[in-house]
Structure 1
Amino acid sequence: MKNWKSLVLLVISALLLSACGDKATTENGAKLVEEGKFVYAASGEFKPFSVTNNDGTMSGFDIEVAEAVAKEMGLEPEQKKFKFAGIVEGVKSGRFDAAVASHTITDERLKEVDFSTPYYYSGPQIFVRPDSSVEKLDDLEGMEIAVSKGSTYAETAQGVTDNIQQYDSDVVALEALNKGKHDAVITDFITGKEAIAAGLNVEARELIGRSEQAIAVSKENEKLLDEINKALETLREDGTLKKISEKYFNTDITSDPEEE
């Protein structure tokens, strides 16, 4: 009798867990961390893409894109601040519905998560102090280069040096360069431009390449990825993405430069 009662309890528990798991979905069957919400992660340390405000909330280009995507999907946006280096793993494990955190699409990341269509285009650039003789990547051979943890820029730096220092954010790396540390920083050209505009005494040198930034979603959530792509298509066609871009950069970084 005792074993029979235990079996019944196990079955009931399994049914309850199954019901809870099925509850957090969209009308089209996409899985959600919380019912009716689009829970997304950003670092809050990548000005002007995501910045932490005095009240602990985040604002910036990525944040407004995430909110627009959530609204288009009929969901309430809920932001989660997380260290950039751990965001992809958080998406993969189901801690977040998605990452709207300026992740560049790479083959390595595609092994862990799926990506939406790009919501903006950019490229890495070398930044140095004004008295530096460095002009291009090859000039940095053997020198000390600073990058942000979890970014693709470390791979670029490894092509010319083993002396790579990593920071929690690109902005902190640029601030260190400004204070006399390291020979150079490799980061997104927009981030460097914003840092210079904010008063850092650094200069831009060689633009190294072109990259596509997109929203990361778990490989187990194909339906959510489809909804995000539909939302981005609408926001691109109605001019919302362009409007958000021009607010932060005075130019449109959401259009593919190769199609212009």
Structure 2
Amino acid sequence: MLVGCSNEVTTTDGMKLVEEGKFTFAASGEYAPFSTTNPDGTMSGFDIEVGEVVAKELGLEPVQKKFKFSSIVEGVKSGRFDAAIASHTITEDRKKNVNFSTPYYYSGPQIFTRPDSKIESLDDLTGKEVAVSKGSTYAKQAEQVTDNVILYDSDVTALEALSQGKHDAVITDFITGKEAIGKGLTIVGKEILGRSEQAIAVAKDNKVLLEKINKALEKLREDGTLKKISEKYFGEDITTLSSE
């Protein structure tokens, strides 16, 4: 039995796990349609289903943990969770604290405004009030052009505030914005600011688990499972580069 920073950690077949026989993964539950919180407190969504099928491939029982997005990476690093399956974009800063799997989906940040806004591009956000989610990569993009960055606990609540007349714009994942528009929010998408790779985060000292997750993801891509889950939530396959 090994002792982690926050929990006892069991080694199984070389994997370090929070709990024997279980795959404990974290998500925010505040990032529809990737993870949302159900009335009974459980989470559902694209990320959650990916976590469940990865656990099955690992031969482990899936255990979902809801946690604030801005603190999830630290939770993985400290051993509170086995992994984060929470739409984390692979960045150099995050790679200093955790290791990442191969990407399980591809996306990209986009500017969203109200329909009457004249904002079209990142340069148009100079000096404007821009809302983003705490702990996301979007804050740094906004900070390139404005000092007036408002932080929310989730992208969805930021978009809801924008739709209600608050702030000048929101920067978030284009899929999240697309889903919000489909649910009736009065917002429109403007410039897409690049492409991002989202992956599963694992503690740096948990290399065997990372290897097994990568093998699981490879199989789930090849047998069409990831594509099927993606099409269920988005109507298209966002799990391969060909969808870009």
- Aligned partners of 1:187 and 1:249: how far apart in 2? 16
| Among candidates 144, 152, 160, match of residue 145 of structure 2 | 160
Cross-structure match for 2:12:
26
**Percent identity at matched positions?**
72
Cross-structure match for 2:228:
243
Structure 2 gaps, min length 5 = none
- The within-5 A match list for 1:188-199 is 188-199=173-184
Which structure has greater strand proportion?
2
- Aligned partners of 2:169 and 2:83: how far apart in 1? 32
- Amino acid aligned to 1:231: A
Cross-structure match for 1:223:
208
What does the per-residue CA deviation read over 1:137-169, in whole Å, with 9 as the maximum and x for residues that have no partner?
A: 101111000000000000100111010000000
What does the per-residue CA deviation read over 1:31-84, in whole Å, with 9 as the maximum and x for residues that have no partner?
A: 000000000000000000000000000000000000000000100000000000
How many residues matched? 242
- The within-5 A match list for 1:36-75 is 36-75=21-60
What does the per-residue CA deviation read over 1:60-119, in whole Å, with 9 as the maximum and x for residues that have no partner?
A: 000000000000010000000000000000000000000000000000000000000000
Which structure has greater helix proportion?
1
Structure with greater Cα Rg: 1
Q: How far apart are residue 22 of structure 1 and its match?
A: 9.3
SS in 2 for 1:48: coil
SS in 1 for 2:16: coil
Compute the TM-score of the two structures, normalised by the length of structure 1. 0.90
Distance change in 2, residues 1:169/1:132 (3 Å): same
Distance change in 2, residues 1:235/1:181 (3 Å): same
Structure 1 stretches of at least 4 aligned residues deviating more than 6 Å after TM superposition: 19-23
1:25–1:32: 8 Å Cα contact kept in structure 2?
Answer: yes
SS in 1 for 2:94: helix
